Amino acid sequence: MTALPPGQFELAEFPRFGLDPFADKFPNEIAHIRLQIAGDVATPCELGDELAELPRVEQTSDFHCVTTWSRRALRWSGYRFRDLYEQLIVPRAQPEPAARFVVLRGQDGYRSALPLEDLLADDVLLADRLDGAPLPLEHGAPVRLVAPAHYGYKNPKHLSAIELWRDERNYHPPGRRFMDHPRARVAHEERGRGLPGWLLRYLYRPFIRSTIRRFQRALDAHRARQ
Ligand SMILES: Nc1nc2c(c(=O)[nH]1)N[C@H]1C(S)=C(S)[C@@H](COP(=O)(O)O)O[C@H]1N2
Ligand SMILES: [Mo]
Q: Is the pLDDT of residue 226 over 90?
A: no
| Cα of 18 from ligand 2 centre, angstroms | 5
* DSSP 8-state code for residue 6: T
Q: State the pLDDT at residue 160.
A: 98
Strand order in the sheet with 101-106: 45-47, 35-39, 159-165, 101-106, 111-115
Torsion angle of C-alpha atoms 185, 191, 194, 197, degrees rounded to 10: -100
Closest C-alpha residue for ligand 1 atom 20: 139
Torsion angle of C-alpha atoms 122, 128, 133, 136, degrees rounded to 10: 120
pTM: 0.97
Give the residue among 127, 144, 121, 139 at the shortest CA–CA distance from 14.
139
Per-residue pLDDT reduced to its tens digit, 159-181: 999 999 999 999 999 999 999 99
Find the distance separating the first CA and the last CA of the chain, reported in whole Å.
40
Give the residue among 14, 70, 9, 68 at the shortest CA–CA distance from 202.
68
Q: Is the pLDDT of residue 126 over 90?
A: yes
Ligand nearest, relative to CA of residue 15:
1
Per-residue pLDDT reduced to its tens digit, 52-83: 999 999 999 999 999 999 999 999 999 999 99
Q: Is the pLDDT of residue 98 over 80?
A: yes
Q: Which structural domains are found in the chain, ordered by start?
A: 9-169+183-225 (3.90.420.10)
Q: Is the pLDDT of residue 35 over 70?
A: yes
Residue 58 in contact with residue 77, Cβ under 8 Å? yes
Q: State the pLDDT at residue 1.
A: 57
Closest C-alpha residue for ligand 1 atom 1: 157
Best probe residue, ligand 1, of 25, 153, 204, 215 (max atoms within 8 Å of C-beta):
153
Q: What is the DSSP string of 117-160?
A: HHHTSTT-EEEEEETTEEPPGGGTTT-EEE-TTB-GGGS-SSEE
Closest C-alpha residue for ligand 1 atom 9: 18
Q: State the pLDDT at residue 14.
A: 98
- Residue 226 buriedness (CB in 10 A; 0-12 / 13-18 / 19+): exposed
Q: Is the pLDDT of residue 3 over 90?
A: no
Interatomic CA distance for residues 141 and 127, integer angstroms: 9
* DSSP 8-state code for residue 88: I
Give the residue among 84, 111, 122 at the shortest CA–CA distance from 175.
111
Q: State the pLDDT at residue 61.
A: 98
Q: What value does the CA radius of gyration of the chain take, rounded to a whole number of Å? A: 17
Atom of ligand 1 minimally distant from the CA of 71: 21
The proportion of the chain whose per-residue pLDDT surpasses 70, expressed as a percent, equals: 99
